[in-house]
C-alpha cells in the first residue's frame, strides 16, 4: 500500500474540515428550522399535537400540554368534529403526513355561548311579542275592574296589576336585549329621573319594611332618561328581592352619588342577602335569583356602556355596585 504524499494528506485534511464545516452548518440549519417550527407551533392560538405512529407525542405547544388529558379522547378523522371537555367546547381538526398525525383543538366555548345567546334572544323576543297583546288586554281590563269591584276585592285586583307590571318589565327587557341598546340623550335632572324610578318600582310587590335612601343633590344628566330609569329600577328591584330573602323584617336600599370631571358615579347598596354566584352576575339568561330572568344586570351594564360608562360589583364586606355614566 503506497503512502500518501504531503500534498495528498493536506488535501484530505482540507476536505475533512470542509465536510465537518458543512455538517455543522447543516446541523445548525436543522436546529434553526426545528426551533422555528416549535416557535410557530407555540404561536398558534389553539392546542396542537404532532403524534408518532406509536401514539407518542413528537411535538406539542404549551396549550396542548395544558390539555394533555383531552388528547386521550381525540381520534383521527377526515372531518372536523366538536367535543366537550371540562365544561368547554373544542373544535377538533386532524391531518396526517407520512408516519405523523397532527391534531388541533380550538376552544369555541365563547363562540358557542354567543350562538346560544342569539338563539335564546330570538326565541325570547318572539315569545315576548306574542305575550305583549294579551298582557296589554289584561292590564286594561284590570284597571276597569278596579273601578267596579267592591272595596274588599280591590287588593286582589292590585295583585293582578302588580303581576302584569312584572311581566311587562320582563317583556320590555327581553325586547331591548334582542334589539340592542341605543341611547337617545337629552338633558334632565336627577329629581325628574327619581320620579320615573318611583313610578316604575311602585307596583313591585314586597312584604318587608324597606327604607329607600336617594341622593339629595339635584344634578343634571345628559342621557337617555327611559334607559336610566330601567337601569336604576333593575338595581332597586334586585335589592328588594335580596331583602325579601333576608331573615330580617326590614331593610335598606341606598343610592349615593359622586362625580369627577368625566363621570357621574353612583353606588347602590342594600342590606339583603349576598350574591351567591358572582361569576355569572353579568351573564345573559343566568340569574342568581329564583325570580330573575337573567337580563336585568346584563341590560344595566349595556345601558351604562351606551352612556360611555360601566357597571361593576365592588369588592368588600358590603354588597355594593358602582355605576359610572359619562358626562
**What pLDDT score does 91 carry?**
92
Q: Containing H/E element for 223?
A: strand 220-223
For residues 121 and 101, the model is more confident at 101
Q: Which residue, 300, 268, 270, is CA-closest to 282? A: 300
Number of domains in the chain: 3
Query: What per-residue confidence (pLDDT) applies to 287?
Result: 56
Nearest one of 201, 207, 203 to 248, comparing CA atoms: 207
Q: What pLDDT shows up at residue 189?
A: 94
Query: Over 70: is that where the pLDDT of 5 sits?
Result: yes
| Average pLDDT value for residue range 222-230 | 90
Cell numbers for 212: 329607600
- Using CB atoms within 10 Å of the CB of residue 270, give its burial: 0 to 12 exposed, 13 to 18 middle, 19+ buried: buried
Write out pLDDT tens, residues 10-23: 777 778 878 777 77
- Residue 307 falls within a domain, yes or no? yes
Whether residue 38 is predicted with pLDDT greater than 80 in this model: the reply is no
The answer to whether residues 187 and 230 touch, using CB atoms and an 8 Å cutoff, is no
Are residue 201 and residue 237 in the same domain, yes or no?
A: yes
Q: Which of 123-127, 210-214, 286-290, 312-316 has the lowest mean pLDDT?
A: 286-290
The rounded Cα 51 to chain-centroid distance in angstroms is 36
Confidence of residue 226 (pLDDT cuts 50, 70, 90): confident
Domain span at residue 271 reads 182-327
Query: Domain holding 249: CATH number?
Result: 3.30.565.10
**pLDDT surpassing 90 at residue 267:** yes
214 and 326 housed in the same domain: yes
Decide if 166 is inside a domain: yes
Q: Return the closest-CA partner of residue 176 out of 237, 227, 123, 222.
A: 227
Residue range 132-182, pLDDT digits in tens: 778 778 888 888 888 888 888 888 888 787 777 777 776 776 666 666 678
**pLDDT above 80 (res 320):** yes
Amino acid at each position: 500500500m503506497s503512502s500518501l504524499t504531503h500534498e495528498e494528506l493536506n488535501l484530505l485534511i482540507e476536505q475533512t474540515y470542509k465536510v465537518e464545516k458543512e455538517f455543522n452548518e447543516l446541523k445548525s440549519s436543522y436546529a434553526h428550522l426545528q426551533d422555528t417550527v416549535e416557535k410557530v407551533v407555540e404561536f398558534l392560538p389553539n392546542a396542537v399535537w404532532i403524534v408518532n405512529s406509536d401514539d407518542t407525542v413528537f411535538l406539542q405547544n404549551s396549550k396542548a400540554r395544558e390539555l394533555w388529558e383531552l388528547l386521550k379522547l381525540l381520534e383521527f378523522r377526515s372531518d372536523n368534529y366538536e367535543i366537550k371537555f371540562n365544561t368547554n367546547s373544542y373544535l377538533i381538526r386532524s391531518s396526517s403526513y407520512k408516519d405523523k398525525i397532527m391534531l388541533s383543538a380550538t376552544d369555541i366555548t365563547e363562540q358557542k355561548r354567543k350562538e346560544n345567546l342569539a338563539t335564546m334572544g330570538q326565541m325570547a323576543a318572539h315569545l315576548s311579542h306574542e305575550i305583549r297583546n294579551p298582557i296589554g288586554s289584561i292590564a286594561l281590563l284590570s284597571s276597569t275592574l278596579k273601578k267596579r269591584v267592591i272595596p274588599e276585592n280591590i287588593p286582589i285586583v292590585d295583585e293582578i296589576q302588580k303581576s302584569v307590571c312584572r311581566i311587562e318589565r320582563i317583556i320590555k327587557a327581553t325586547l331591548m336585549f334582542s334589539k340592542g341598546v341605543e341611547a337617545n340623550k337629552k338633558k334632565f335632572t336627577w329629581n325628574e329621573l327619581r320620579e320615573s324610578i318611583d313610578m316604575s318600582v311602585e307596583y313591585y310587590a314586597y312584604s318587608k319594611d324597606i327604607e329607600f335612601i336617594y341622593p339629595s343633590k339635584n344634578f343634571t344628566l345628559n342621557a337617555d332618561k327611559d334607559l336610566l330609569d330601567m337601569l336604576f329600577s333593575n338595581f332597586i328591584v334586585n335589592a328588594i328581592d335580596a331583602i325579601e330573602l333576608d331573615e330580617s323584617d326590614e331593610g335598606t336600599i341606598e343610592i349615593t352619588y359622586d362625580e369627577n370631571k368625566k363621570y357621574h358615579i353612583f353606588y347602590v347598596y342594600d342590606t339583603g342577602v349576598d350574591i351567591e354566584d358572582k361569576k355569572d352576575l353579568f351573564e345573559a339568561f343566568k340569574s342568581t335569583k329564583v325570580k330573575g330572568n337573567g337580563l336585568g344586570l346584563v341590560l344595566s351594564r349595556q345601558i351604562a356602556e351606551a352612556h360611555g360608562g360601566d357597571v361593576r360589583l365592588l369588592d368588600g364586606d358590603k354588597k355594593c355596585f358602582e355605576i359610572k355614566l359619562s358626562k
